[in-house]
Amino acid sequence: MPVLPDKEIEEFVGSHRSWLWADKEITRTFEFSDFNQAMGFVVRVALEAEKANHHPDIDIRWNKVTLTLSTHSEGGLTEKDLALAERCDALT
């Protein structure tokens, strides 16, 4: 899967303002009311990631979960990353 052109990534982050684009990845921090809700979200993300065979980097800080997406094998962002980002947005 080819790396996306900058214009396509700019359009994505323009319409998904919670996602930040830096270098070759996109990142978003989700905040929940407590640890249990945060962990429930992580489990839902894991299930979606397995279905997509595409796995984000996940950082858990009590009630905050930060997802970082990039297609490491391609050296940047691909359609897989944007699709998984949208799926994760729908899980909240």
One-character DSSP codes across 68-90: EE-BTTTTB--HHHHHHHHHHHH
Q: What is the pLDDT of residues 7-23, one digit of tens each?
A: 999 999 999 999 999 99
Residue 61 lies in a domain: yes
Q: What is the pTM of this model?
A: 0.95
Q: What is the pLDDT of residues 46-66, one digit of tens each?
A: 999 999 999 999 999 999 999
As beta bridge partners, residue 6 has none
Residue 13's CATH number: 3.30.1360.20
Structurally, the chain folds into a number of domains equal to 1
Please give the DSSP secondary-structure letter assigned to residue 16.
Answer: S
Q: Which structural domain, as residue segments, surrounds residue 66?
A: 6-90
Full strand arrangement of the beta sheet holding 25-31? 20-22, 25-31, 64-69, 57-61
